[in-house]
Structures are given as structure tokens and as C-alpha cells.
Chain A
Amino acid sequence: MCLQKGSDQLYQGTRSVIADFLAASTDARIAPAFPAAAPQQSDAERFLRQLLQLWSDHTVCLCMVRDILMYLDRTHVKTAGLPPVYDMGMETFRETVIHSKKHAVQSALVSTVLHQILLERDGEAVDRLLLRGITEMMMMLPAAGASARLRQSLYDTSFERAFLDASETFYARESEILLKECNAIDFLKRAEKRLEEEDQRVEHYLAPATGAKIRAIVESHLLQGNVTSIIEMDSGLVSLINNDRLDDLSRMYRLLGRVPNGHPALRAALAKFVKSLGAAVNESLAAIPAPPTEGSDDATASASPSRPVSASAAVASMSGVDPSAGSSSSAPAPTTAKVVSPIAWVEGMIALKDRFDALLDRCFMRDKSFQNEINAAIEVSIALNPKSPEFLSLFLDENLRKGIKGKPEEEVEAFLDKAIAIFRFVREKDVFERYYKQHLAKRLLYGRSASEDTEKSIITKLKVECGYQFISRLEGMFKDMSISVDLSAGFRTFVRSRGADGSDDRAADDEAGLAVEDGDKDTASAAALATAASHGAMPELFVHTLTNTFWPMSAPTATTCHFPAEIAAVMAQFQRFYMSRHSGRRLAWMQHMGTADIRAHFERGRKELSVSTFAMVVLLKAFNDMSSNEPVSFETLLAETEIPESDLRRTLQSLALGKYRVLIKASKGKDVLASDTFTVNTQFASPLSKIKILTVAASGGAASGAGGAGSSSGAGVGGSSSSVANTLETDAERSETLDKINEHRKHQIEAAIVRVMKARRVMRHSELVAEVISQLAPRFSPDPVVVKRRIEGLIEREYMERDSENRQMYRYLA
């Protein structure tokens, strides 16, 4: 036929035959199956099945027709610019069946399929294979009027849009229902399930391209619009964290991550929660009542001071870091109370950080931005406590003195790492350094440190954090300590080589201890504590020689008390010895830092007393060589010993009014008055042979503070309210410390300004301020206003000047 020029006739003929047949079939097969307005499931399926049947019949036949008319396809169709026979057949199917003029097949088809989907969403089973066949049909049918190139199918043009619209309505409602009916946990579970369902649906019987679109719809309706509602529900973020619903939390993280506003909102809520917990840690301290003796000092403070009376049990329960603290046998509970509160605070912060680090690991996939947010929130909380540097240092002090005792190395190491993590959050690192130095000094001088290795390990960690400059002085302190050991050993040999002569007495023999200290141009020294020398020999002297610049305490201002001759002789000897080794140095004795072990003979036996240097002086000077136990007046003591009056008063309080009363005060009352007289308590008795008499703390005022446990093991004496223990500063001390720090900062700021200007020569004001602040950031965060004042100061002193043209530019003046 083609050769007979019948091509066109054949083509058109084929078309009309197909069309006629399809029209007839539609009437016969599809129309009766037309679903009613509210279709029964079976009706719907029947309709779809009929349609599908017709479709598959059609495709099979069409293939055959195409094969038969292949020649036609090759010759006529190409030249005539007509669609190939197969495509023509498809179009005919679309026109006659789907777009049938007699029956609204298309709309019925779409609505039926949508209805099926709706049924499935509501949990009913549908014939997925059938649906798949239908959608495939729609995908294969080219859209009306679509050019071949776009290859848009009926699915694309008619179905998908309708499907998405229907979904949109469905999920908008769904979202409302869920919000009304579910708590956050279920909401998220349901949302997650919906997303899975839709994914499966796409996989089973929709076009892959629809997947992203439908997902977007579900996400936007179920999640995006409800982010804050979900997070802030009663069962939201806070309750999830509080109840450790880790899986639900990770679901929340996962799902909210799918919408753009999800994670930011989650982060913000998280930060808010962390801050509220941090504030709780800060407040819990304020809530603890201050002990009555100290109460008046604290009137001003709101968030911080607090020396809770409630004891060491709190430490143990709070921490988990320090389980031994409560059980540590000899630590006297009432006296340790003073340092508990800062410790509890730090432990609270550590616990907070641990908790959220764990969450980060478990639930937030270690998301960096979450980590930053959490850390920032903790940092803010820590900064809210103005005493955080002091607290942290006290915390370390407490643990270094006893907390870490007897723990395996890894545990100690882990503990240190946690402390350092908190240290990182402390903004005022210079303040921390100051306190740490003070506390370290006491640990070292009084031999209170539990482990030198741990001490050094901390120093190393601090070095990693803040650089060499930060710890150079701390290292210097350690160096001094080891030098002191050598020095004292050298001194012993020195003394021995000279021979010794002893001068002791019957009532109270002594071994001298005293605080030595000396300063010189770059090296100053020391506090000395002597330990028992053999009876009848010269008092033995152990001197800590301290470099002036390394140590926090300043050389005493002419507080020279009058030493007993024996002690004075040893001191002079040491001085000679030291000068022979290091000429040109200045040695200053720090009497108030020393301790002495004295052997005393009471009527009820011999005791070894460990007392402060001043107490030793009092005992030896006034009460040693008395054959008769005559009362000595306060005035006489003052004149003879030349100990500063306030120190003397405290010393006497500790000797006569403390737990161990070596002296007897004639009058009653807790205060030492100028008119009081004292005698030796010859009847003194105690089950212990070694007795430690600690000096009353200066701030304590009341005499009750003295005392402490002297066990033969010597462990656990620390922590009493003596000058040996490190305690919270009083407000007065604190403001003094702050003044010193501010003064110190001024110099640092100026040094930084000069450093920057020297390098840059010319610089804008704002840049200079920013650079200085960033340079100092590792140590503290300077106030821009203060930086500005320092710049003005430097202009005034002609280190720099304003540019004559641009007043915001500074020039460095060499």
C-alpha cells in the first residue's frame, strides 16, 4: 500500500480504527465500572482495573500494529512529519479514553487514585501493584499538546499537581490534628513515620521525581511550621533532656534538621536551657545559708559567697568525681564546710558540661554548631559568677590536697581534664592565675599537696591552654621548692661541719621552725619550717627560699619579732650560709609563714607541739626558762617578742583558747585583752603525742576556729579554718585582689597597645582596640573603654600621637 501511495490512507485508517475500537471499549468496559461519587473500595478498584486492562490490551495490540506497519513508519511517517504509529496510538488512547468526550475518565481516574492514596494514608491496605500500573500508564501517555522534546507525560501535567495539592491539604490538617493530640515525642514519631510512608509510596507507585516534592510538603507542614511548638511543648526539649529520652532527642535533632529553621531554633532553646541550668548552679550556692559566724560579711553578695554549713556529704553526692571526700576519715566536717561551696559549684558546672557533652555525642551527632552553642551557654553561666576563677582554684586546691589521694592515675587525669575544660570557660584567666598562685603557694609551703606529679600535670595542661608566659611563675615556684630542699641539705652539712651546741631547757625544748623569706633583686626567699632536731642539739632549720617575683606573698614590712637566742643564732647562721653561696642577694624572713615543732614537757608527759613561728616565739621567750610558773601579761609578751599586736593576739588565742590549751588565760572570755595574763597549763593532757595547734584565721575573729586533727599519720589535717587552708576570700580581701588585678591589667593593656603600635606604626583607633582585645583574650577580656583610657594615657606620655590629618589614626612615636 505504501508503494501505491496509500501511505496516508493507511495511517489515517489505522488511526480511526484504533479510535473507534477504543471508544467502543470505553463505552463497554470503562463506563459501567465508573465509580460512584462515594466509591466503594471494590468499585474503585474495579474501575482502575478495567482501565488498566484496557490499557495493557491496547499497548500489546499497538506493539503488534507498530510491528506490522513498520515500513509505514520508516517511509511515510518521517517524510510527512507525523508521529510514529506507536505514538499516534498512544495519543489516540489519550484522546479517546482518558479525555473521552462522553465520560469524564480523567477526573475520575485522578480522584480515584487520590482516594486510594488517602485510604492508604489512613492506614488501609490498597492494591499497590494496581496503582503502580495506573501511574505507569499515566507516565507513558504523553501530555496533550506536549512537544516530543519535553516529553511531559499525562502524569506530570494532570496527576502530580493534583496529588501534591491533595497532600498539601491532607498534611495541613494532619499537622493541626497532631498538634492538638500529641505530645512532642509522639508528634515526632508520627512525623517521622509519615515521611517514611511517603518515601515508600514514591518508591512503590509514584514517579521518583515526585519524592522530593512530597517530602517538602510533609516537612513544611508537619515540621517547619511547628518547630517552636514542638520544642516548647511541655513534653518538648526540656522534658526530653530531663527524662533522658535520648532516642527521642536524636529524633528531634534528625527531623528538625530537615527544615531550615529547625536547628537554629533547637540550638537557641538548648542554649536557653543550659543557661537556666547554669543559673541554677549559681543560685543553689546563694541559697545555702552562710554560717552564722560569717554572716555579716556576706550581706552584699547575692549570687556568690555562701559558705555552707552543710558539709562534706554534699561533695560526695554532687560529684562522683570525689567519692572519697566524704569518707576521708579525719577531715572534720564542720570545718571543711567553708570550702565545700565553691567545690560544689565547680562540680555542678562540670556535671553540667558532662551532661551536655554526652547529649552532644548521643543525640546531636557531635554537631559543631550545637557544641559551640552549648559551650557558649556554659561560658555565660560561668561568667555570671564573678568568683568563678577563685572557685575553680579552690576546687583544684581541695582536690589536690586530698581529693585525689589514692586514686588511679587515669581517674586523676580525667578529673584534671574536666577541671581544665571548666578553666577554658573562665574568661578572667589572669584572676584565676592569681588565686591559683596563692593556693599553690600554701600547698607547697605547708607541704599540703597530695601529689607533686599531679601538680605538675596541671601546670603542663595550663601551659597547653595559655602558653608559657602564663605558667612561668608557677614553674618558678616549683623550682624554688626543689632548690630549697638542696639548700637545706647543704645547710645541714654546713652546720654539722661547724659542730653544734645545744641549748635546751627542761620545761619546753624546742626545734625551731620559722618562716624565712628573703627578697633580693631577682631572687627572694623563703619560709622555713623546721622539724625535730635531736634532743640537746641545735634547733634544726628548714628554709624555703623563695624568689620574690614568683610568689604571691610580699615580703613583710618590718615585722621582725624578737627571736629567742637559739633560733636567732640558727637564722644568722643560715643567713651567712646563704650569702656565702649567693652574694648580692637580699634575704628577708617571713615569720608569719613559718611553723615550728616544739617538744614540751608537761607534768603529764611529753608532747610534740606543732605551732606557728609566732607561737613558738611566745612559748620559748616567755614560758620556757621560768622556774616558777608565773603569769605573764599581754603587755610583757608584746614588749618581749615584738610580734605585731594583732598577730600576737591571734597567737595567744590559739594557744590559750583553742582546742588544745597549752596556756591558761587568767580571765574568762573569748577575746584576748591587753590586761590579760597567761600561765603554762602544766596539767595539759591529750591522748595524742603530736599536737598541731593552728593559728586562728585572721578573718575568723572568734577563737572557736582554732583546732584541727593531729593524728599520728598526719593526714587530713588540712581544711580547718586555719591560715593553712585556702578559703574563700572575704569581700574586703576580694576587692583588694580585684584592685591589684585591675592595676596589673592596666600594665598588660598598655604593653599590648605598645606592642601592636610598634609593629604597625600607624593604626586606626577601632582596629587597634580590636587587636589589643584579641591579643589579650587568652588572659582576660578587657573592656574597650579601659583600652581607650590606656591609649589616652599613652598619648599623654607621648608613646603615640593622633595623626594630624585624621584624628582616628594613631601613630607610634619611637
Chain B
Amino acid sequence: MPPRKRRQDSDGLEKPKPPAKTARKKSDKQPSKKAAQVAPGEALVMLGDGAEQRLQWFDKYQDKSEEHPTPTIGPEGLEQMCSDVGIPIDGLEILIVAWQMEAKRMGFFTLEEWQHGMGKLGAFSKSSLKASLLPFQKIHESAQQANLRDLYKFAFDFAKESHQRTLPVEMGKVALQVPIRIAQPLMDANDTAHAPAIGLWKLILPAERFPLMGMFLDYLESKEPVKVITRDQWMQFLDFIRAVKPNLDGYEEDGAWPGLLDDFVAWKRADAEQ
């Protein structure tokens, strides 16, 4: 349907839409066929079970305007989808979806990413998506979870501006209150979306579960020691939270922690002494 149509549009070809029901039977062949027919960038789209359903589902939210070179769901479509599925637009769930999709750009899902991520999740409808997210609910139950690291790592690249190396700590004071909005990203002058580190941290490592996180956020907000978070600081913080206890046991001065974390510990200790 429309997705195909759009692709053909972009190819400048007008072809009859393939019937949706046959698509499933032909699923084996379709990838190559599609690859041949369709824009080169989509050659990797995998159509497994439910691919066609996902395609239709995608279509429902797709941004039909002409501005995207490839089929893409834009911010409005995403917001719609979130409310349909019943998940918050600024919650961890949608970040997990984006992570599964390996989405490149905040606020936008391309068809390729959609198929990849939803395929991995085994989701092809709002109800199956909701079900598929259930196992992830406990992802931050413990900092030791293996896939938490993946998600955490992904979040950094996902949230930062693509041409930047670092993640801003916060976007003005507004972002301090409002956690990040994956679906409705903050847009800057260059129309690129990004999220502040603080919001992202609150989402992935909630302070209720990680007391150190809360302290660290206090530190960042009250002392404003830095304006941006580097990749190393970001990744090391997860290790830090894993290695160091909330009472700071397990922290070693010469433990090669980033200076920011050393300063944080010094601040916390001075604080505790008073």
C-alpha cells in the first residue's frame, strides 16, 4: 500500500500495489525482489514473519510528506503510535524500542529500522509490541544486567547531536524538569534532535533504584561542574555505579575514574562530613 507506493514514487514509477495477503506467502522471495526494485538504501530490510503486517502498521504512522528520502515515521506519527500502544512518549519503553531498532535519529524511525527492530521484538501490532516490551521492564532492576550496557551505550549516541562528540548535561532549565522526549525530541536551530544527559540518566538509571545516580544528579545540578558529558564519562558512570556502593565503598582514588567522578566523590565526602 502506501509504503510501496511511496517508494515507487521516489523511483518515479507507478505500479499496482501488491495485494497484502499474498505478500506473506512470498515472503522468502520478497527481500531480494524488493532490493532490486527499491531504493538501494533499503536493500537490507528483512521481511520475516509478520513483515507485511509490520509494513501495514508502519504505514499507519508514516510521515507522508515529501521531505524524507526513505519511508519514515516522524515525530507526529510517533506520538500517535505511543498513545495508541499506551506508552509514554518520554518513557523508557520508547527508548527501548528505538534501541531495538538501532534507530539513528531521535524522533524518526525509518522503515528499515522499523522492520529490524520490530522483527527483533517479534511485534507487529500495538498489543504484541506492548507484550514484547514486558521482558524489558526489569532491565534496570540491576546495574549488572548485560543488555543494560547495550541500551546505555546506545542511548548516548542516540541522544547526542550527530556531529557532536558530547552530550549536553541539560538543555536550559526546562529540560531539568521534563525528562527527555524520545518521541518529541528537542529540536535545535539545525533541526537536529538531541536529549540532555540528565534526562537520559533519569530514564535509564532511575535514582530510586540507584541512589548514586540521585547523588550524582544533585551534584551536576547544584555544582554545574561540566556543561557536556563525554562518551568516556557516560560509559564510565555505568561502571562506576556497578563498582561503587552508595556509601562510596569500593571507590579508589587511583582507580582511573574520569575526573568528573573523582570530583563528585570528593564533593560527596565533603558533604557527608558537614
Point out residues on A near B: beta carbons under 8 Å: 764-766, 785, 788-789, 792, 795-796, 802, 807-808
Contacts and interface: CB of A to CB of B under 8 A. Distances in A.
Nearest to A793: B230
B256 A789 contact: no
B76 interface: no
Q: What is the predominant secondary structure among interface residues of chain A facing chain B? A: helix
Given A796-B165, A796-B230, A796-B232, A808 B256 contact: yes
B253 to A, nearest CB: 10
B254 to A, nearest CB: 5
Nearest to A806: B256
Contacts of A766: 254, 256
Q: Which 9 A-B pairs have the closest CB atoms?
A: A765-B256, A808-B256, A795-B232, A796-B230, A789-B259, A766-B254, A788-B259, A807-B239, A792-B258
Contacts of B235: 802
Contacts, number: 33
A593 to B, nearest CB: 41
Contacts of A789: 259
Contacts of B239: 807
B37 to A, nearest CB: 40
Given A765-B254, A792-B230, A796-B165, A807 B236 contact: yes
A789 B260 CA distance: 9
B52 interface: no
Given A765-B254, A807-B236, A807-B239, A792 B259 contact: yes
Interface residues of B, number: 15
A241 B189 CA distance: 74
Nearest to B233: A792
Given A785-B262, A788-B256, A789-B259, 4 more contacts: A766-B254, A792-B232, A792-B258, A795-B232
Interface in B241-264: 254-256, 258-259, 262
Nearest to A791: B256
A766 B235 CA distance: 20
B231 interface: yes
A785, A795, A796, A807 interface centre (most CB from chain B within 10 Å): A807
B232 A802 contact: yes
A178 to B, nearest CB: 49
Contacts of A785: 259, 262
Contacts of B166: 796
A668 B235 CA distance: 70
18 contacts: A764-B256, A785-B259, A785-B262, A788-B258, A788-B259, A789-B259, A792-B230, A792-B232, A792-B233, A792-B259, A795-B230, A795-B232, A796-B166, A796-B232, A802-B232, A802-B235, A802-B236, A807-B239
Given A796-B165, A802-B232, A807 B258 contact: no
Contacts of A792: 230, 232-233, 258-259
Nearest to A794: B232
A795 B166 CA distance: 12
Interface in B127-171: 165-166
B214 to A, nearest CB: 23
A789 B261 CA distance: 12
B156 to A, nearest CB: 13
A804 to B, nearest CB: 10
A428 B230 CA distance: 31
A768 to B, nearest CB: 9
Nearest to B230: A796
